[in-house]
């Protein structure tokens, strides 16, 4: 229970359906450690969110516990986020948090409480094939709220113990259910920013997390076609596909093509040079099918708001996922997730390691 509309309504529906429900709110970070707009009530893990969750649990007549996962979250999510930027990538902490915190750690807590399932307010569905014994995520009926892209990393054994009470709901329907259940959070605004960066300023966060970042990395070269054309503030502060904030005057718009951490160099180029047809991904998790040794065609997304495009996909003997798109895709960013879909079903996904023209 984050204290928001979705998890509160999901809880209310479960209570109404007769489940024996325990409300759990995760404290994912120490507020004094993250800086920025501490206590921001739009953040899913804010102090206000914890208080709202406790109040809703009291209203619904269920026990509520706040669980401090801040040390584990710092080790597995925050440190990964910082280290991945320092490796020249563009991390997606929500995907990693879903797998390692909201499922793996939460199921350990569920076991200690004697709970059989965990439930969340995600907008997605869980499918099951009796013949193969496999479970997978299916897109939400609400395309504006679909969160299937963020759930590709959830493992089979975790899906088997998961309930999504909002499967089949749209956001307006959830708000309406909140009003029907007389939950006073029914009109609460949504949270969008990364929970541990409440001011949404990742550059500020990186500098706070690594106070020596400017001294040890410092300014470097912007390079266009092998020639130095300017100076940047340090490679961790740039991502593939970025156009704004470069401070470079040129005859045509320039974009970040590559981040080269070992050289502290940012390669720039034109929009056309952002296009690539192939990528390789690591940390692969398969959902609908057990493996992908034989190449198959799927619709593939390379970022959350990507509509997806058709591609030929397969995994190699070392477990890496290889994707070749029918048409070039723009700004394939290492560190982001690549997710394969068969119609509305999540086939599996991985973390982009590299892209090739």
pLDDT tens, the chain, 357 aa long: 999 999 999 999 999 999 999 999 999 988 776 765 554 444 556 678 899 999 999 999 999 999 999 999 999 999 999 999 999 999 999 999 999 999 999 999 999 999 999 999 999 999 999 999 999 999 998 888 899 999 999 999 999 999 999 999 999 999 999 999 999 886 777 766 688 898 889 999 999 999 999 999 999 999 999 999 999 999 999 999 999 999 999 999 999 999 999 999 999 999 999 999 999 999 999 999 999 999 999 999 999 999 999 999 999 999 999 999 999 999 999 999 999 999 999 999 999 999 987
Which residue in the list 44, 94, 195, 313 is annotated as catalytic?
195
Contacts of 265 (CB under 8 A, 6+ apart): 220, 221, 223, 235
347 shares a domain with 233: no
172 shares a domain with 105: yes
Known active-site residue 45: no
What is the model's pLDDT at position 192? 61
281 shares a domain with 261: no
What is the model's pLDDT at position 57? 97
221 shares a domain with 107: no
173 shares a domain with 34: yes
Residue whose pair of structure tokens reads 């890496």 in the numeric block: 320
Measured between alpha carbons, how far is 218 from 230 in angstroms, rounded to an integer?
14
Contacts of 227 (CB under 8 A, 6+ apart): none
What is the model's pLDDT at position 195? 85
Contacts of 324 (CB under 8 A, 6+ apart): 277, 278, 311, 312, 313
Known active-site residue 97: yes
Which residue in the list 44, 94, 97, 313 is annotated as catalytic?
97
What is the model's pLDDT at position 191? 66
**Domain assignment present for 138:** no
126: closest CA among 307, 345, 339, 290?
Answer: 345
- What is the CATH classification number for the domain harbouring 51? 3.40.50.620
For 257-271, b/e burial (b = at least 16 CB within 10 A) is bbbebeebbbbbeee
Number of domains in the chain: 3
Write out the residue range of the structural domain in which residue 32 sits. Answer: 5-121+165-180
């Amino acid at each position: 229970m984050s204290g928001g509309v979705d998890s509160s309504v999901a809880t209310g529906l479960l209570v109404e359906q007769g489940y024996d429900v325990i409300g759990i709110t995760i404290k994912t970070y120490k507020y004094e450690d993250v800086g920025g707009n501490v206590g921001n009530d739009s953040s899913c893990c804010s102090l206000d969110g914890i208080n709202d969750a406790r109040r809703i649990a009291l209203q619904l007549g269920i026990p509520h516990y706040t669980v401090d996962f801040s040390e584990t979250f710092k080790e597995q999510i925050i440190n990964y986020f910082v280290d991945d930027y320092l490796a020249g990538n563009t991390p997606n902490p929500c995907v990693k948090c879903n797998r390692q915190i909201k499922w793996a750690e939460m199921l350990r807590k569920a076991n200690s409480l004697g709970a059989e399932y965990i439930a969340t307010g995600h907008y997605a569905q869980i499918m099951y094939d009796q013949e193969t014994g496999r479970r997978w995520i299916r897109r939400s009926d609400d395309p504006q709220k679909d969160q299937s892209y963020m759930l590709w990393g959830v493992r089979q054994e975790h899906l088997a113990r998961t309930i999504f009470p909002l499967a089949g709901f749209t956001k307006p329907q959830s708000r309406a259910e909140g009003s029907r259940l007389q939950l006073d959070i029914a009109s609460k605004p949504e949270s969008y920013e990364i929970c541990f960066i409440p001011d949404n300023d990742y550059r500020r966060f990186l500098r706070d997390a690594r106070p020596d970042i400017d001294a040890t990395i410092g300014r470097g070269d912007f390079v266009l076609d092998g020639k130095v054309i300017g100076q940047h503030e340090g490679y961790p502060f740039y991502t593939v596909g970025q156009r704004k904030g470069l401070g470079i005057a040129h005859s045509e718009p320039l974009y970040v093509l590559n981040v080269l951490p070992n050289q502290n160099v940012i390669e720039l180029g034109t929009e056309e040079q952002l296009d690539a047809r192939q990528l390789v991904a690591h940390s692969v998790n398969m959902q609908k099918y057990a493996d992908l040794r034989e190449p198959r065609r799927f619709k593939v997304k390379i970022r959350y708001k990507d509509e997806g495009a058709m591609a030929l996909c397969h995994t190699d003997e070392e477990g890496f996922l290889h994707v070749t798109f029918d048409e070039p895709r723009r700004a394939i960013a290492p560190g982001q997730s690549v997710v394969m879909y068969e119609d509305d079903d999540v086939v599996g996904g991985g973390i982009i390691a590299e892209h090739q023209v």
